[in-house]
């Protein structure tokens, strides 16, 4: 059991190292992009269109929490603007979903049409046999 536990810790440690190295690489690429073109583009972007901020490792905990709250608000607002009318996440849970009604009706129409086709086929078969 001790061997499996140490292997698991080694695996977690290696995954953590990989994660840290990938984040470091991403940060370097972002810094390079900002140096190369970002300043010009960044200045032209409206404040609400700027990329998601990434806190520094030395950032204050309260600043990180505030940033997280801002991201949660932005995410909620984005979901509201991208959802269809009547299917908002704020919709009344007691109210039936209006998008389900046309689907049920379409399913009903399809079933009815299949029934008619079967009856026509049976009519052809029965009338064809009599002649």
- List, for residues 79-129, the tens digit of each pLDDT value: 777 665 555 444 544 555 555 556 666 667 778 888 888 888 888 777 765
* pLDDT number for residue 42: 66
* pLDDT number for residue 122: 80
For the segment 28-78, what is each residue's pLDDT rounded down to a tens digit? Answer: 888 877 677 766 766 777 777 766 666 666 667 787 788 788 888 887 887
For residues 79 and 10, the model is more confident at: 10
User: What's the half-sphere exposure (Cβ side, CA atoms, 13 Å) at 103?
Assistant: 4
* pLDDT number for residue 111: 80
Contact 27, 20 (CB under 8 A): no
* pLDDT number for residue 78: 77
* pLDDT number for residue 99: 54
Residue corresponding to tokens 């953590």 = 16
Contact 32, 24 (CB under 8 A): no
Contacts of 84 (CB under 8 A, 6+ apart): 99
* pLDDT number for residue 44: 77
For residues 15 and 130, the model is more confident at: 15
* pLDDT number for residue 125: 78
């Amino acid at each position: 059991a001790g061997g499996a536990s140490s292997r698991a810790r080694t695996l977690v440690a290696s995954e953590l190292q990989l994660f840290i190295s990938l984040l470091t690489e991403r940060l370097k690429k972002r810094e390079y992009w900002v140096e190369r073109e970002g300043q010009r583009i960044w200045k032209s972007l409206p404040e609400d269109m700027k990329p998601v901020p990434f806190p520094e490792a030395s950032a204050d905990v309260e600043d990180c929490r505030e940033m997280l709250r801002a991201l949660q608000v932005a995410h909620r607002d984005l979901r509201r603007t991208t959802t269809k009318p009547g299917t908002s996440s704020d919709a009344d849970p007691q109210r039936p979903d209006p998008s389900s009604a046309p689907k049920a009706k379409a399913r009903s129409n399809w079933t009815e049409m299949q029934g008619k086709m079967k009856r026509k086929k049976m009519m052809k078969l029965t009338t064809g046999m009599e002649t």
